[in-house]
Amino acid sequence: MPTPVIIDCDPGHDDVFALWLAAGNPEIDLRAVTTVSGNGYLKYTTLNARIALSVAGVEGIPVSAGAAAPLQRELTPADWIHGENALGGPELPTPTVPEDPRTAVQLIADTLKASDEPVTLIPTGPLTNIATFLMAHPELRDKIKEIIWMGGSTGRGNVGAYPEFNAWVDPEAADYVVRSGIPLTMVGLNISHQALITEEVIQRIGAIGNTTGAFGVELLRFFCNSYNEVEGMLEGPLHDPITVAIAIDRAVATVQRAHVDVETKGAFTSGATCIDLHDMLGKEKNVDVAITLDVDRFWSLIVDAVTALD
């Protein structure tokens, strides 16, 4: 049976590939998509999620908008990587997929209630919606199988010396989710920087010859160009779909169980994930931290999913 999944995202170039991987892989049953402000303001991330599904011909999955701002802070969108509309590069079509009038929290609640089996939550942006949902619906916790989140880092960050963007945008939400006790796998920069978008990868996706692949190539070229300009990297890292790849096949990544705290107050480190890989603190190990990616398997999953779409 395919794994039932809700993706909570802030598309964002790599979020789009997470959506496509979930929609195009037979092991995943994508039940709902919710959006959060992060890479761009909510109006853009919601529109972009609808565009991502529309381009790929994925109809019938509800898409609802969530939080317009982090729990306690102002949003700083990642326009330096993703562009002002959070999806720079291709000309964006008017989506055929509509916006569901429910809030993200309501859609998550409805989807969990309607499911016979526990559902996997896959957030690929700041954790504002997930934390808000957990606060509002404690009675539905048992309907969540696990959370697989792209965020954090075992090492250095990408918005400062230590914090990673998704954790940094809403550290209070990340702290809440990490301490919630719900099984959590963290896909941080330490593993996502193994998913480098090589020229060979771009050629493989272009060679598929469908609409999704052509749109995807334009996304990847813009994204790599941003990484080149901002971080001096020729090959950008395709962070977000690693979460979905893990939901498809745990063997795609090794994990190490460790105690994780999210820094919410640091003068220089707000939003940093403090990951006690060497068990120096002797505290409860609360997170499966993804460490090493099977890079070939990961890209094969992406290529196969894009092939299966329009």
| Binding-site ranges for ligand BDR (CB under 6 A) | 12, 14-15, 39, 78, 81, 124-125, 150, 158, 164-166, 239-240
- Looking at the Cβ atoms of 10 and 175, the one nearer to Ca ion is 10
113, two tokens: 């209630």
Q: 98 and 68 in contact (C-beta within 8 Å)? A: no
**Active-site annotation holder among 13, 82, 193, 239:** 239
- Looking at the Cβ atoms of 81 and 208, the one nearer to ligand BDR is 81
164 sits near Ca ion (criterion: CB under 5 A)? no
By rule CB under 5 A, what string of x and - marks binding of each residue 120-139 to Ca ion?
----xx--------------
Known active-site residue 193: no
* Minimum distance from residue 158 beta carbon to ligand BDR (Å): 5
Closest CA to 126 of 99, 163, 162, 101: 163
For Ca ion, which stretch binds (CB under 5 A), given 6-14, 156-164, 168-176, 277-285?
6-14
- Looking at the Cβ atoms of 67 and 208, the one nearer to Ca ion is 67
Residue 226 binds which one of Ca ion, ligand BDR, none, with CB within 5 to 8 A depending on kind?
Answer: none
Compute, in degrees rounded to 10, the torsion defined by CA atoms 254, 244, 6, 165. 80
- Looking at the Cβ atoms of 204 and 239, the one nearer to ligand BDR is 239
Exposed / middle / buried, residue 267 (Cβ in 10 Å: 0-12, 13-18, 19+): exposed
Find the residue with minimal CB distance to ligand BDR: 165
* Minimum distance from residue 78 beta carbon to Ca ion (Å): 8
Indicate which single residue of 12, 163, 237, 241 sits in contact with Ca ion (rule: CB under 5 A): 12
* Minimum distance from residue 139 beta carbon to Ca ion (Å): 29
Query: Residues 215 to 274: which contact Ca ion by CB under 5 A?
Result: 240
* Minimum distance from residue 239 beta carbon to Ca ion (Å): 7
The tokens 């796998």 sit on which residue?
185
- Looking at the Cβ atoms of 242 and 272, the one nearer to Ca ion is 242
151 sits near Ca ion (criterion: CB under 5 A)? no
Contact positions vs Ca ion (CB under 5 A): 10, 12, 15, 124-125, 240
Q: Which residues are catalytic?
A: 239
